[in-house]
């Protein structure tokens, strides 16, 4: 029988209340708890105080606002999957959400919780990194913003400090942009063996599109900040065609650091990175509407 160790529990009545409770260094915010509670059962996390933020419904929004897609930290995975506006601007989030755990877990687990868990195998970190999203962090003295690409300090570690809470994630909505996420796992609902997300902004003539900018996120393969930076740089200014996509996939595969584990050996994971990056770029490009 797995049960968490003894822990204190407080329900946050307001954002200010939550921030004040979270100043205790041994406190952890809990919302869905679908990552934290299993870790507490295994004693991999042993907070002394849980601050339940499920009541802070002002953080549950998903909205298009002033050229940005804004996703509240307390939005559930199912909310993001159900959001038509998110799917229209960034189909990568719908692709990724379809393969995050299972439909029941997605009803309760939150976007903010996934990002703050900072699990190297978690899907949304790579998707938000590909989209060059910004994390909005609330503290007692106001808010600060951190690019998602600098949000994770390492496995299970983020820039969130005591007395702070991830409040929302903002993603710039740009014209002529397409995105996609491709994942391979051992079975439905499992963590990635490897996955790749791509966000492409195209320009030029519709019959010969050129890549204006590329974002590539990689999951579970030891990519620094979940990003394939060299492949992104390679793509800038190149033709949006199969040759570019395959070359970028090869660069991404070389530049990551997958570890052999029960999900597969290193060379297999690199093979997946090359193939999935290519597929994600192909699908992202096909979703761009240059006439829009």
In the chain the first and final C-alpha atoms are separated, in Å, by: 56
Rounded to the nearest whole angstrom, what is the least distance from the CB of residue 58 to other proteins in the complex? 18
Rounded to the nearest whole angstrom, what is the least distance from the CB of residue 45 to other proteins in the complex? 13
* Nearest residue (CB) to other proteins, 50 versus 211: 50
C-alpha count within 13 angstroms, C-beta hemisphere, residue 278: 17
**Is 104 a residue that touches other proteins (CB under 8 A)?**
yes
Rounded to the nearest whole angstrom, what is the least distance from the CB of residue 40 to other proteins in the complex? 8
Q: Which two tokens stand for residue 136?
A: 């909005």
CA 36, CA 49: separation in Å to the nearest integer? 12
Backbone φ and ψ of 167, nearest 5°: -100, -40
Q: Which of 28, 34, 149, 283 binds other proteins (CB under 8 A)?
A: 34
**Is 107 a residue that touches other proteins (CB under 8 A)?**
yes
Do residues 284 and 198 make contact, with C-beta atoms less than 8 angstroms apart? Answer: yes
* Nearest residue (CB) to other proteins, 5 versus 145: 5
**Is 189 a residue that touches other proteins (CB under 8 A)?**
yes
H/E element, 29: strand 27-30
CA 191, CA 93: separation in Å to the nearest integer? 16
DSSP state of 239: B
**Is 140 a residue that touches other proteins (CB under 8 A)?**
no
Strands (E), 31-161: 49-52, 62-65, 68-72, 134-139, 142-147, 152-154, 157-158
Rounded to the nearest whole angstrom, what is the least distance from the CB of residue 260 to other proteins in the complex? 24
- Which parts of 44-73 interact with other proteins (CB under 8 A)? 50, 52, 54
**What is the total residue count of the chain?**
292
**Is 1 a residue that touches other proteins (CB under 8 A)?**
yes
* Nearest residue (CB) to other proteins, 189 versus 204: 189
**Is 11 a residue that touches other proteins (CB under 8 A)?**
yes
Rounded to the nearest whole angstrom, what is the least distance from the CB of residue 24 to other proteins in the complex? 15
* Nearest residue (CB) to other proteins, 52 versus 224: 52
CA 26, CA 28: separation in Å to the nearest integer? 7
**Contacting range for other proteins; rule: CB under 8 A; set: 27-35, 128-136, 197-205, 252-260:** 27-35
Q: Which two tokens stand for residue 90?
A: 């960034």
Do residues 215 and 130 make contact, with C-beta atoms less than 8 angstroms apart? Answer: yes
Residues that bind other proteins (CB under 8 A): 1-9, 11, 30, 33-34, 37-38, 40-41, 50, 52, 54, 101-105, 107-108, 188-189
């Amino acid at each position: 029988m797995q049960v968490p160790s003894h822990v204190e529990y407080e329900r946050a009545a307001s954002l200010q209340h939550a921030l004040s409770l979270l100043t205790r260094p041994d406190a952890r915010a809990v919302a869905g708890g679908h990552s934290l509670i299993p870790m507490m059962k295994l004693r991999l996390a042993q907070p002394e105080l849980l601050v339940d933020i499920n009541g802070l419904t002002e953080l549950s929004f998903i909205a298009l606002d002033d050229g940005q897609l804004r996703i509240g930290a307390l939005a559930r995975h199912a909310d993001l999957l159900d959001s038509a506006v998110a799917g229209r601007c960034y189909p990568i989030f719908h692709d990724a959400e379809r393969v995050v755990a299972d439909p029941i877990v997605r009803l309760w687990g939150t976007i903010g919780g996934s990002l703050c868990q900072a699990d190297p195998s978690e899907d949304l970190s790579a998707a938000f990194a590909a989209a060059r999203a910004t994390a909005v962090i609330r503290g007692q003295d106001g808010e600060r913003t951190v690019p998602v690409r600098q949000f994770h300090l390492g496995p299970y570690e983020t820039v969130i400090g005591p007395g702070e809470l991830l409040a929302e994630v903002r993603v710039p909505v740009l014209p002529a942009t397409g995105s996609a996420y491709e994942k391979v796992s051992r079975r439905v609902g499992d963590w990635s063996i490897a996955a790749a997300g791509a966000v492409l902004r195209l320009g030029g003539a519709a019959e010969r599109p050129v890549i204006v900018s590329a974002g590539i996120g990689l999951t579970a393969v030891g990519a620094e900040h979940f990003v394939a930076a060299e492949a992104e740089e390679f793509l800038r200014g190149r033709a949006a065609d199969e040759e570019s996509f395959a070359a970028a996939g090869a660069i991404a595969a070389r530049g990551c650091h997958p570890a052999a584990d029960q999900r597969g050996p290193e060379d297999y994971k690199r093979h997946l990175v090359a193939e999935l990056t290519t597929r994600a770029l192909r699908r992202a490009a096909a979703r761009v509407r240059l006439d829009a």
